[in-house]
Structure 1
């Protein structure tokens, strides 16, 4: 398994940011993160990035407190490209819980010729990442339905579901439940990835 050194983990994040308006219990949060890391494209996680590719944690032996830390692993793509990746949680004091899955731009630059901003029309490899991210979101949603997920560069905290409009949805990089899509007036524009979940592929990613 490929190793990634400290100097690789730099830059902005291309991320999947999942918003839960209602706070999750530690046990449910653990289940969501376990579900995230159960994706067939992922190896991990481990608590320290220097251990990526060496050994991973046993979800049955950890408490919810460990998820206040970053968790690291490796994402493998169809062409066998390996990318260092991480997950993290943000539990707002008087707001939402967020579950983020990220790939640092430094990791991407190690594997690809990267053009900024990180949008698929400038970086075709991001299309496959968006597909994987939507698979991960689908799994997490099946464990605990979320209110919204965003895909793009540094999107965490840039938009909340209560501020979601049709224009934002149609710009892409959004995954929302059917009822939220209907409320935004964008129900027919999305790609259904489960019975109750719609993906709007990333276009400009300008929130």
Structure 2
């Protein structure tokens, strides 16, 4: 029987990604590392691995580090959803030429479906208020330890906007969630469409 926490089951990694994407605000490796470490801890990710073609028990863990992201492209682990299900998860860095890097923490939709997470509410795209709130809480905890310029929450949200475009203002109509720093405070604007 397959589980949403099985690495080798390709169906768990399918269907796109539900994400917490964070604009780090710098391309400095130390800054990216600080956000990565804070994120992994805030999400309480179990393990850190470079491969998905082997179960965690069949491979050596890798350091949760910028160097591992550079070597493997993605870091993978398991995380417990607010529903109680253990599922596969991952993180990827998008290193920008414009001097601002992003870290995307994600749970694949295939694993979410296997875990029975309800989504959609009649919409033609994936949306889960439970996951939005959970990812926003992870972002808020990450921000306490390692501030970032912007966080966005939702299905495949990476690259949909940036801090400079928002200029410190939450959009009134939001198809996704926003974690927008205002000084030392992180303001969460949930999706409202």
TM-score normalised by length of structure 1: 0.74
Matched, 1:18 2:22: yes
Give the aligned CA root-mean-square deviation in angstroms. Answer: 2.5
Residue of 69, 84, 88 corresponding to 2:92: 88
Work out whether 1:203 is the aligned partner of 2:192.
Answer: yes
The structure with more helix, counted as a fraction of residues: 1
Shift in CA distance, 137/9, structure 1 to aligned 2, threshold 3 Å:
same
1:44 aligns with 2:47: yes
- Normalised TM-score (structure 2): 0.79
Q: How does 1:80-119 map to 2 (within 5 A)?
A: 80-112=84-116, 114-115=119-120, 116-119=124-127
Runs of 4+ in 1 over 4 A off after TM superposition: none
How many residues get paired? 179
- Indicate the SS of the match to 1:65: helix
**More divergent stretch after superposition (145-154 vs 70-79):** 70-79
- Look up the match of 1:174: 178
Residue 104 (structure 1) shift: 1.5
**Unpaired runs of 5+ in structure 1?**
120-125, 180-194
Q: Verify the 8 A CA contact 1:18 1:100 in the aligned structure 2.
A: yes
* Structure 2 unpaired stretches of 5+: none
State yes or no: 1:31 paired with 2:34: yes
1:3 and 1:157, CA in 2 relative to 1: closer, same or farther beyond 3 A?
same
